Structure 1
Amino acid sequence: MDSTAVEIDGSVMEGGGQILRVSAALSCITGTAIKITKIRAGRSTPGLRPQHLSGLQLVSDLCSGSLQGASIGSTDVSLTPGKIRSGSHVADPQTAGSVCLLLQVALPCAVFADAASQLCLKGGTNAEMAPQIDYTLKVFKPIVERFGINFDCDVKMRGYYPKGGGEVNVTVNPVKELRPVTLTERGNITKIHGRAFVAGVLPFKLAKDMSTAAVRTIRKEIKELYINIQALQEKEKACGNGNGIIIIAESSTGCLFAGSALGKKGVYADKVGIEAAEMLLRNIRHNGCVDEFLQDQLIIFMALAKGTSRIRTGAVTLHTQTAIHIAEQLTQAKFTISKCEDEMSSSVTYIIECHGSGVVNPNL
């Protein structure tokens, strides 16, 4: 083990897979060796799960690194990064582990390669405890591209719990450096749209029930907008059975918010629709510019960008605080969070400001 490695406590704050993703990506980009201890110590199944393991292997592969302690259930892992290399990389946890979380760890690394990278990510496209692929494409992608990042995503096959079997091909173009981003003016909500889907043997009626219940719930609060939630039957391009819904709201200044839910055995479809609608409403009631899920996903890019980024959010989540903690440990970035009283709305919003570390791609 390299004595100069930075030790990261994997049990602090949120204490989950996010610590692994942010620290592994930053290790890869900054060339800093890391040792993560007490991985997921507080979880019911501590240590690395298949998805975390394939994420770490993907990063190690991307940066020609060496991994120690990388096995299922391991609570200590070390990564010594080499040079980031472009080309084709595959990650397959062989479970319904989320492809979106694999993308979260790989994307920042691939941005600092010497040429375009092709990532073939397998697993669950619409998985619990992770963004749905539709969220990644419709909310995360357009916002993260404001940093100057450019990537394409092709959903070859959707995969659902418990089998997985999904496949997403991503092409990431490298950049010299990332631009800072300012998202502080919300404007008005101008559009609400989404998709309610069923896949496999599940009846189409479930999709219609989810959609109808979601529209009805949003209508109680937002009366003036046309709400278009398409009900879809996924026949081809879907592996296994699943149902779910994602609803997206757009604002006049280009802010994006979402609410989503997945069906489970024994849960009525309209309940799934209502859950997603309530999540969306919760995310647009405050006058922030990002929803609770985008908040923490932007931290790593703010930390890497050259210049000062500012984003206005609702309550700052523990995931976000954890990402900031790791980013400050592994980069020169400095974050401040300030509360703003908003005369327009009764709810409190916060400005997360970051003086980015201005990482320059040495390979370009």
Structure 2
Amino acid sequence: MPVLSSLMSALFPCVGSLQGGQILRVSAALSCITGSAIKISKIRAGRSTPGLRPQHLSGLQLVSDLCSGSLQGASIGSTDISLTPGKIQSANHTADTQTAGSVCLLLQVALPCALFADASSQLCLKGGTNAEMAPQIDYTVKVFKPIVEKFGVHFDCDIRMRGYYPKGGGEVMVTVNPVKELLPVTMTERGNITKIHGRAFVAGVLPFKLAKDMSTAAVRTIRKEIKELYINIQALQEKEKAYGNGNGIIIIAESSTGCLFAGSALGKKGVYADKVGIEAAEMLLRNIRHNGCVDEFLQDQLIIFMALAKGTSRIRTGAVTLHTQTAIHIAEQLTQAKFSITKCEDELSSNVNHIIECQGSGATNLNL
């Protein structure tokens, strides 16, 4: 049985504390798909609140439900868990963080598993839809979904209620269709940025002016660097389908070859709205400058699909993040996938970019 956390912390100092959630998500999903039992120790050992938090626990329970598995050590604060998977079966599954824990992180762990079920699965995910330290649901739908569909993945996402920190209360219904096997993907040509659009939102008692201020500041920041494109960032007041108070912004850039990039930020108490808009705009610009084909947040989310695909995938990216290195290491431990990272000079960009190449393990859905 692979023991992951001790090994990870030896390879990447601080990884156990900084990326405990990611180690849990990738390893639990691959355990479920490959049928390999795993043990994860020293979970979030360096944090002020070590061990499993509610969002980690609900994600692990969701995976265990999907594969009729046996989960040991599954309680808040636990630093050691083990998962012995059974057969992946389609059904209606509910996961509720009961906090503002991210529904998008629940989807990250559950989606790969549901692809290898015997029929469509319905996932009811409850918690925060626009949460800190996680993709906003808009990112998952507008950036992650179209790119992961290139691997042959198909899922529908119905945002029934948005939820914000600290109350949560969001609800997303996801329908996942199974696949026989995943296709390899090549994304090495960025092309030109052809479109920039987004949404700046307020919900609850917050004034609409905040949304307009975020949008205006973001457009002004992008204009300094990209002058020729029309930038459409809608200011929105969320009413019926929002629980609690929140504000934030997400800006998406599309390229001529179908690449997608995003910058996003959430409002915080005491932070001016224009600062939130500028933060999102600067994040987007940073992700465009390296001339890669994915942004820093999509990069690590694609590793599990590259590892499972049948054939060789190649993706051009900017600097390779610690999250990506971690995901690659876990994927190589739990599958037959082989990754390589090649640094490449780019005449169109002063920044270094990389090609992440993977000879996928060719996982086959034996339930179909």
Alignment TM class, shorter chain as reference: over 0.9
Q: Deviations over 1:255-306 (max 9, x none)?
A: 0000000000000000000000000000000110000000000000000000
TM-score by length of structure 1 reads 0.96
* 1:184 equivalent among 180, 184, 188: 188
2:28 aligns with 24
The 2-side partners of 1:12 and 1:295 are apart by 22
2:322 aligns with 318
Residue 93 of structure 1 and its aligned partner are, at CA, apart by 1.1
The 2-side partners of 1:202 and 1:345 are apart by 41
2:224 is paired with a residue whose SS is helix
The 2-side partners of 1:92 and 1:29 are apart by 22
The 2-side partners of 1:125 and 1:164 are apart by 8
Q: Deviations over 1:172-209 (max 9, x none)?
A: 00000000000100000000000000000000000000
Q: Deviations over 1:302-347 (max 9, x none)?
A: 0000000000000000000000010000000000000001112111
The 2-side partners of 1:12 and 1:54 are apart by 25
The 1-side partners of 2:131 and 2:248 are apart by 10
Residue 211 of structure 1 and its aligned partner are, at CA, apart by 0.1
Q: Deviations over 1:186-235 (max 9, x none)?
A: 00000000000000000000000000000000000000000000000000
Residue 158 of structure 1 and its aligned partner are, at CA, apart by 0.1
The 2-side partners of 1:286 and 1:192 are apart by 17
The 1-side partners of 2:110 and 2:116 are apart by 11
Q: Deviations over 1:227-252 (max 9, x none)?
A: 00000000010000000000000000
Q: Does 1:168 align with 2:163?
A: no
1:266 is paired with a residue whose SS is coil
Residue 88 of structure 1 and its aligned partner are, at CA, apart by 0.2
* 2:7 equivalent among 12, 22, 33: 12
Residue 102 of structure 1 and its aligned partner are, at CA, apart by 0.1
The 2-side partners of 1:295 and 1:209 are apart by 30
The 1-side partners of 2:261 and 2:214 are apart by 19
The 1-side partners of 2:65 and 2:92 are apart by 10
2:7 is paired with a residue whose SS is coil
Worse overlay, 323-332 or 341-350: 341-350
Residue 12 of structure 1 and its aligned partner are, at CA, apart by 6.0
Against the structure 1 CA distance between its residues 275 and 12, is the aligned structure 2 distance closer, same or farther, given a 3 Å change threshold?
farther
Residue 143 of structure 1 and its aligned partner are, at CA, apart by 0.1
Q: Deviations over 1:115-169 (max 9, x none)?
A: 0000000000000000000000000000000000100000000000000000000
The 2-side partners of 1:194 and 1:169 are apart by 23
The 2-side partners of 1:228 and 1:163 are apart by 30
Residue 44 of structure 1 and its aligned partner are, at CA, apart by 2.0
Worse overlay, 343-352 or 198-207: 343-352
Superposed CA RMSD: 0.7
The 2-side partners of 1:45 and 1:146 are apart by 38
The 2-side partners of 1:338 and 1:271 are apart by 36
Residue 48 of structure 1 and its aligned partner are, at CA, apart by 0.3
| Percent of paired sites with the same residue | 91
Matched residue pairs, number? 352
1:207 is paired with a residue whose SS is helix
The 1-side partners of 2:248 and 2:99 are apart by 19
The 2-side partners of 1:32 and 1:202 are apart by 48
Q: Which runs of 5+ in 2 are unaligned?
A: 1-5, 9-19
The 2-side partners of 1:267 and 1:223 are apart by 28
Residue 42 of structure 1 and its aligned partner are, at CA, apart by 1.7
* 1:82 equivalent among 86, 97, 101: 86
Residue 43 of structure 1 and its aligned partner are, at CA, apart by 1.8
Q: Deviations over 1:70-96 (max 9, x none)?
A: 000000000000000101000001000
The 2-side partners of 1:226 and 1:286 are apart by 22
The 2-side partners of 1:299 and 1:208 are apart by 37
Q: Which 4+ stretches in 1 moved above 2 angstroms?
A: none
